[in-house]
């Protein structure tokens, strides 16, 4: 990589959810690898959990922002973050003055707002990355102050108004350990049978009781459940109940509360049934999986818009959360199984390509 001058220091600030942290950490690691320096520093809220995998770069240089403890969040709900906002602003100011970065890159959530806004006031170059089709409130607020807006989907620009000219399509960087595994190896990882139709079921990091219960009942309604095999991620709340519910259903099932080795689950699957969070949708695109998507109804319109991208590409069916039932899922399962295994061929940027593009935009800003 040829640069007119040595790349400057970068602060990457993110929220607590995996949808914010995964792309932020992947881009940070790519910047470290491409510049050969440790001059990329991760800023994240207290008690945020870094993803498993290679944390060398992120773990060596990371700092924390104040964040309300669980008890306060339970008592005050969304107001808790507003109570902590002055402390977040002061800590963000201290971090900027201490590290003196050339660029600040924000990856969403209210935690990134003070850092990116203060950087703009100080004349520091800024980039924000939006994971969803419809930008979140933090991105919409910061769009006017950012030098660059990296978007994951081509349709995001129309929501940015006057700032749309700053948008650059990069795609959504995925966790660095994610890879495509040979299908035979992936099936062997779970002890599953080659030749059977394999379904991956997941309701996101917290699980979804509606999806969990409806799917198990759908399997029991199938005429030939023995032709189906399942990898089911339930979340902690439903794990024991759903594992027990599969007994005697006729289908081979591997039930997990949580699975870190998602590359095996995606690579083994012929179909995925899931929510439509930005990371999940990007991973579905990366693996080219046909999908049945049930957008989470309490995320504004974000998951609906994410799901629509896959539906328009012809690779997904979308079911309203209120309409999910065992009968409807059974019909969708039978239709998908009858069409056989296929690659959905979604036209979008994800994975390593997206990670490189976002890192390149940030590095270019540091060299100006």
**Distance of alpha carbon 119 from alpha carbon 104, whole angstroms:** 7
**Distance of alpha carbon 29 from alpha carbon 26, whole angstroms:** 5
**Distance of alpha carbon 186 from alpha carbon 265, whole angstroms:** 7
Assessment of whether the complete model's pTM goes beyond 0.85: yes
Q: Which domains does the chain have, with CATH numbers?
A: 10-174+351-366 (3.40.50.2000), 183-339 (3.40.50.2000)
Tell me the per-residue pLDDT of 42-58, one tens digit each, with 9 for 90 and over. Answer: 999 998 877 655 455 55
The answer on pLDDT for 178 being more than 90 is no
Q: What was the pLDDT predicted at 348?
A: 61
| Nearest of 136, 25, 114 to residue 65 by alpha carbon | 114
Average pLDDT of the residues of the chain: 89
Among 56-65, 115-124, 232-241, the range scoring the smallest mean pLDDT is 56-65
Q: What was the pLDDT predicted at 2?
A: 47
**Distance of alpha carbon 247 from alpha carbon 259, whole angstroms:** 21
**Distance of alpha carbon 290 from alpha carbon 273, whole angstroms:** 9
Q: What was the pLDDT predicted at 77?
A: 87
**Distance of alpha carbon 352 from alpha carbon 130, whole angstroms:** 17
Indicate the SS3 state at residue 118: helix
Percent of the chain with pLDDT over 90: 67
Indicate the SS3 state at residue 188: helix
Q: How remote is the C-alpha of 198 from its chain's centroid?
A: 23
Instruction: List phi, psi (to 5°) of 228.
Output: -110, 145
Tell me the per-residue pLDDT of 325-366, one tens digit each, with 9 for 90 and over. Answer: 999 999 999 999 888 766 666 766 666 689 999 999 999 998
Which range, 58-72, 165-179, 266-280, has the best average confidence (pLDDT)? 266-280
Residue of higher predicted confidence among 200 and 258:
200
Q: Is residue 73 very low, low, confident or very high in pLDDT (cuts 50, 70, 90)?
A: confident
What is the rounded average pLDDT of the residues 273-300?
90
**Distance of alpha carbon 28 from alpha carbon 41, whole angstroms:** 7
Tell me the per-residue pLDDT of 81-95, one tens digit each, with 9 for 90 and over. Answer: 999 999 999 999 999
Q: What was the pLDDT predicted at 14?
A: 94
Q: What was the pLDDT predicted at 40?
A: 87
Distances (CA, A) of 146 to 118, 126, 139, 173: 11, 5, 9, 19
Q: What was the pLDDT predicted at 60?
A: 60
What is the rounded average pLDDT of the residues 118-132?
97
Q: What was the pLDDT predicted at 227?
A: 93
**Distance of alpha carbon 267 from alpha carbon 180, whole angstroms:** 6
Q: What was the pLDDT predicted at 32?
A: 85
For the stretch 155-172, what's the b/e string if a residue is b when 16 or more beta carbons lie within 10 angstroms of its beta carbon? ebbebbeebeebbebbbb
What is the rounded average pLDDT of the residues 219-233?
95
Q: How many CB atoms lie within 10 A of CB 223?
A: 8
């Amino acid at each position: 990589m040829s640069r007119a001058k040595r790349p400057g220091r970068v602060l990457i600030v993110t929220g607590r959810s995996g949808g914010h942290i995964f792309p932020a950490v992947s881009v940070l690691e790519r910047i470290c690898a491409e510049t050969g320096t440790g001059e990329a520093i991760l800023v994240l809220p207290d008690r945020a959990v870094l993803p498993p995998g290679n944390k060398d770069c992120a773990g060596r240089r990371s700092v924390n922002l104040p964040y309300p403890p669980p008890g306060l969040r339970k008592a005050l709900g969304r107001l808790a973050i507003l109570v902590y906002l002055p402390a977040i602003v002061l800590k963000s100011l201290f971090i900027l003055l201490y590290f003196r970065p050339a660029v600040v890159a924000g990856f969403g959530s209210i935690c990134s707002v003070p850092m990116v806004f203060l950087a703009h006031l100080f004349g520091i170059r800024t980039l924000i990355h939006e994971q969803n089709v419809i930008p979140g409130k933090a991105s919409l607020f910061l769009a006017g102050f950012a030098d660059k807006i990296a978007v994951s989907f081509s349709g995001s620009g129309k929501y940015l108004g006057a700032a749309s000219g700053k948008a650059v399509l990069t795609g959504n960087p995925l966790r660095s350990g994610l890879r495509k595994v040979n299908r035979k190896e992936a099936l062997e990882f779970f002890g599953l049978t080659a030749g059977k139709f394999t379904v991956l079921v997941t309701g996101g990091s917290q699980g979804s009781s509606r999806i969990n219960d409806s799917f198990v009942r759908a399997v029991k309604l199938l005429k030939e459940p023995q032709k189906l095999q399942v990898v089911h991620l339930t979340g902690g709340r439903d794990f024991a109940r759903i594992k027990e519910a599969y007994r005697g259903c006729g289908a081979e099932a591997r039930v997990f509360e949580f699975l870190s080795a998602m590359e095996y689950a995606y690579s083994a699957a012929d179909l995925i049934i899931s929510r439509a969070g930005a990371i999940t949708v990007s991973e579905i695109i990366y693996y080219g999986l046909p999908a049945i998507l049930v957008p989470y109804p309490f995320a504004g319109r974000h998951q609906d818009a994410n799901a629509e991208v896959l539906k328009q590409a012809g690779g997904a069916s979308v079911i309203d959360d209120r309409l999910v039932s065992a009968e409807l899922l059974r019909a969708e399962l039978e239709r998908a199984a009858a069409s056989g295994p296929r690659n959905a061929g979604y036209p979008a940027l994800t994975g390593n390509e997206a990670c490189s593009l976002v890192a390149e935009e940030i590095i270019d800003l540091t060299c100006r």
